[in-house]
């Protein structure tokens, strides 16, 4: 697996990434420390199984860190690679907001990271463009990833970012995706319209 060369990434992006990672990890540590404190000093003797109270508290803290702060994403190593192919499909979710089954768009990428076999991640994107019963496949029309793109995934971020998209003149409708929140942005934007962080392109 090829490691990203951090020094090649724009300095402003690296600064945003360092801040993002530091804040997430610090907040996660606070939550875990609070849970550890609770496990040590709270009185669980009223419970049928006092040990279970500690396990539940620790589990809740870890789950909260993963859901709210994406702590689990820091376990995935960073990598860099080239897109070999882009596919798209749907997955059905059990029920949407109004009780109807909701479609979830998957992007199936084939990425050469220098491994013997290509890496095949499935990326999700919620369908924001559902009109009535018709779902418009945002990823197929916006296609934030393209064949031949260089992608970089940094530990802790949500999705791999596409970068090195140079002159957009002859590309049709060029877009790129924010590594921090997954929002699809126009090439002309320097900061993500969703989270305000510097985007890689």
Query: Is residue 181 a contact residue for Zn ion (CB under 5 A)?
Result: yes
Euclidean distance between CA atoms 55 and 27, whole angstroms: 21
* Among candidate residues 88, 119, 120, 121, the one with its CA nearest the CA of residue 106: 88
Query: Is residue 32 a contact residue for Zn ion (CB under 5 A)?
Result: no
Query: Is residue 178 a contact residue for Zn ion (CB under 5 A)?
Result: yes
Contacts of 44 (CB under 8 A, 6+ apart): 50, 51, 52, 53, 54
Least gap, CB of 161 to Zn ion (angstroms): 10
Rg (CA), the chain: 20
- What are residue 80's DSSP bridge partners? 152
Query: Is residue 180 a contact residue for Zn ion (CB under 5 A)?
Result: yes
The residue among 31 and 181 lying less far from Zn ion, judged by its C-beta, is 181
Q: x/- contact string, 122-161, with Zn ion (CB under 5 A)?
A: ----------------------------------------
Q: x/- contact string, 81-100, with Zn ion (CB under 5 A)?
A: --------------------
Q: Is 201 exposed, middle or buried (0-12, 13-18, 19+ CB in 10 A)?
A: buried
* Region of 45-53, 113-121, 167-175, 185-193 interacting with Zn ion (CB under 5 A): 185-193
Query: Is residue 179 a contact residue for Zn ion (CB under 5 A)?
Result: no
Query: Is residue 194 a contact residue for Zn ion (CB under 5 A)?
Result: yes
The residue among 70 and 96 lying less far from Zn ion, judged by its C-beta, is 70
Least gap, CB of 24 to Zn ion (angstroms): 14
Q: What is the DSSP track for 73-140?
A: GGGSPPEEEEEEEEEEEEEEES--TTSS-EEEEEEEEEEE-SSSS-B--EEEEE---EETTEE--HHH
Footprint of Zn ion (CB under 5 A): 178, 180-181, 183, 192, 194-195
């Amino acid at each position: 697996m090829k490691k990203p060369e951090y020094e090649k990434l724009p300095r402003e992006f690296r600064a945003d990434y360092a801040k993002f990672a530091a804040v997430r990890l610090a907040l996660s540590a606070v939550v875990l420390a609070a849970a550890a404190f609770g496990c040590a000093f709270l009185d669980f003797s009223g419970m049928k199984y006092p040990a279970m109270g500690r396990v539940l508290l620790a589990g809740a803290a870890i789950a909260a860190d993963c859901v709210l702060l994406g702590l689990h994403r820091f376990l995935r190593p960073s990598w860099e690679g080239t897109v070999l192919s882009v596919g798209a499909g749907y997955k059905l979710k059990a029920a949407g907001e109004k009780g109807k089954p909701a479609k979830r768009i998957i992007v199936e990428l084939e990425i050469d990271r220098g491994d013997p076999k290509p890496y095949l991640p499935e990326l999700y994107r919620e369908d924001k463009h559902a009109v009535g019963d018709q779902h418009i496949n945002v990823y197929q029309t916006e296609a934030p990833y393209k064949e031949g793109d260089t992608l970089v995934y940094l530990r802790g971020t949500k999705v791999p970012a596409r970068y090195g998209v140079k002159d957009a003149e002859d590309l049709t409708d060029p877009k790129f995706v924010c590594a921090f929140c997954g929002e699809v942005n126009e090439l002309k934007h320097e900061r993500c319209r969703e989270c305000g962080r510097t985007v890689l392109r």
